[in-house]
Amino acid sequence: MADDSTLNLRISNLLTPVTIGLHLRGTERDQVLRELVELIPALRARASERERLLRALIEREIMHSTGIGDGLALPHTRNTLGGLVDHPLIAMGRHPTGISFAAIDGKPVRLFFLLLSTSVPEHLYLLARTSRLLRNPTLREGLLTAPRPETVMTLLRQAES
């Protein structure tokens, strides 16, 4: 069960302009996952931790794709990775044309939300909240056309209010 602090988590508060990449270039799943990992400032100087996270994300995708349909994927690890982050965070990426990501609907994925958490309840809460929030087609369209990371954050803030 989620505790009170988990229930107050807002997706828009877990993003910053530097954790939003609006021009992903990778043409394959693992390349995009690497780009998302590289958006996390806390891991930029920690190459071994970046690789540990990337391996965990790839293993999770091999097990079952995190592509949830409607051009969305919510990459996350199967288990929380101790010591990797000290607070929950999200890295968001947008691909101009979309890539094959074995999504449930078979369509290319253009919007990626990499979820990192510090506990299982927090992890489950973030997955559910992000998935529910992104089911809004107006929000998805806004995220696909947002010109700047700050616009993405504003759109998410508005959708959560």
- The residues carrying an active-site annotation are 76
| Closest C-alpha among 57, 117, 113, 61 to residue 84 | 117
3-state SS assignment for residue 124: helix
Task: Give the span between the Cα atoms of 12 and 111, in whole angstroms.
Answer: 15
Task: Give the span between the Cα atoms of 93 and 149, in whole angstroms.
Answer: 10
Burial of 159 (0-12, 13-18, 19+ CB in 10 A): middle
In the numeric block, the tokens 């929950």 are attached to 88
Cα of 155 vs its chain's centroid, Å: 16
